Amino acid sequence: MLERGGQLLFDKLTLRLHEPRIGLIGDNGAGKSSLLRLIAGLEQPQSGTVRVHGLDARRERAALPRQVGLMFQNPDDQIICPTVEEEVGFTLSAQGVPRRQARQQARDFLQARGLGHWSERAIAELSQGQRQQVCLLALQIGRPATLLLDEPFASLDLPSQYRLSHQILAGAQQLVFSTHVLDQVRGFERVLWLDRGRVREDGPGHEVCDAYRADVQRRADAMPACMDALPC
C-alpha cells in the first residue's frame, strides 16, 4: 500500500516485472512515476514489500543503485555535478570507485561513444535534450540490470528522441518505461495501463495501447463540444 499526499494510491497491488521491455501508460496522476519511484527505492510503501532483483527495496536500499537506475522526468532533478565527466563519474564514485579513477572511466566511457568532446562541458550550458542524454549515460555507466525511464522523451525534439532512443536500445538492460506517447511502447512485450493506482490492463503492448486509446476516445466523445464548454 502507498499513500501520496494523504490519498491512497496503491492498495493490494501485486506485480512481477520480468519482461525485458515493459511500458507504463495512463492518465496524468495514474501512478506511473510513483511506481517507478517505489522500484527505485525512492519511496517506501506503508505496507507490503518491493523486491528488486532479490533485494528488499527498504532494508537493502543502499545496494539498489547497482541493480536499478531511474531516469527522472526532469534532468535537473537528477544532475548534481557541474560537468559532464563529473556527473557520469559520480555514479561510479557512489559505487565505491576512487574519484580520480571514476573520472578517468567516465572520460573513457564518453570517448567510446564518440562524446569525448563532452567531458569538460558545463552541464549548465547543455540543452534539455543533451542533459537527458547525460542522465542516461550516468545511469548506463553503472550497468544496472534495470533502467527505469520516466517519460524520457517528454520535452525532446524528434532528432533528440531518435538519439536517446538509440542510446536506450543499445543497452542490454531491462527497461521499464513510462510514457504518454503510445507508439513508443506499442511494440513492447508488456504494457501496464495504470488507472488511479490500479492496473486496468496488462498485456502485449499493442493490445493494451489500443484498449487505452479506445477508452480515451470514448471519454472524449462523451465530453461536451469544445465551444459549449468554453465560458462566454
Q: How many CB atoms are closer than 10 A to CB 59? A: 9
Q: Does 198 bind ligand ATP (CB under 6 A)?
A: no
Cell of 205: 503492448
Nearer to ligand ATP by Cβ, of 15 and 124: the residue is 15
Q: What is the largest CA-CA distance in the chain?
A: 65
Contacts of 190 (CB under 8 A, 6+ apart): 19, 21, 22, 23, 202, 203, 204, 205
Query: In the bound complex, what is the minimum distance in angstroms from residue 186's beta carbon to ligand ATP?
Result: 18
* Closest residue to ligand ATP, based on beta-carbon distance: 5
Q: How far apart are CA 118 and CA 42, in angstroms?
A: 29
Nearer to ligand ATP by Cβ, of 33 and 132: the residue is 33
Nearer to ligand ATP by Cβ, of 31 and 144: the residue is 31
Q: Which residue from 31, 75, 144, 205 is in contact with ligand ATP, where contact means CB under 6 A?
A: 31
Closest alpha carbon to 135 in 61, 77, 62: 77
The amino acid sitting at 102 is: A
**Contacts (CB under 6 A) with ligand ATP, residues 7-26:** 7, 9, 26
Q: Does 176 bind ligand ATP (CB under 6 A)?
A: no
Q: Which residues are near ligand ATP by CB under 6 A?
A: 4-5, 7, 9, 26, 28-34
